[in-house]
A and B are shown apart, each in its own frame.
Chain A
């Protein structure tokens, strides 16, 4: 157990639907990162939150959004889902902003049918 908890582990949904992925960071970590892993694109950075505030954005689609709550857990919302959104979504956390190292959760596998 890495200390980063992602739920659900698996999600199957239909095109056009909306889903929410949840991440609880390791205790004491203030930064949360979201990544999408697909066969053709590899691991792509989506977005980072630090202590409740959005800090950096990567290749995140406009249909996707995220937030970090006061208890530091984070949610990634994916809407108007397309077949191409099927992927493994990882959350990682770190103590702060600098390069302390990143602890990853076990991921949420999203299948859009």
Chain B
């Protein structure tokens, strides 16, 4: 069975400082991992995905994530937060057992001016 745990329900940063959103996964197969963002009253937008190619994945809007198999982690980072980054972020795992994406509970990113 696959599962994903987002370690922080809320993360608060100041504009211009680095962002770190943490995600650990569990999978019996080689997983694919994704980060999605949901702005208030909007749908889910794909930020980036890992599908067994390069372990450091670059996404849109300056975000990137690193797949670490030994730590079963897929943390999302951004060097400098922008006010427009304030949103809910979801880590998602999908593996060869079912190919059904399973969502974490989400991390709310708050950006202070």
Residues of A within 8 A of B (CB): 2, 33, 35, 42-43, 45, 48, 56, 58, 90, 92, 97-107
Q: Across the two chains, which residue of chain A brings its CB closest to B94? A: A99
Q: Closest CB of chain A to B30's CB: distance in Å?
A: 10
| Total A-B pairs, Cβ < 8 A | 52
Q: Are B36 and A104 in contact (CB under 8 A)?
A: yes
Which residues of A are found within 8 Å of B98, using beta-carbon distances?
56
Number of interface residues of B (CB under 8 A): 24
Which residues of A are found within 8 Å of B49, using beta-carbon distances?
99, 101
Q: Across the two chains, which residue of chain A brings its CB closest to B41? A: A109
Q: Are B99 and A102 in contact (CB under 8 A)?
A: no
Q: Are A102 and B46 in contact (CB under 8 A)?
A: yes
**Complex CA distance for A105 and B45, rounded to whole angstroms:** 9
Q: Are B103 and A42 in contact (CB under 8 A)?
A: yes
Which residues of A are found within 8 Å of B103, using beta-carbon distances?
35, 42-43, 45
**Complex CA distance for A85 and B44, rounded to whole angstroms:** 20
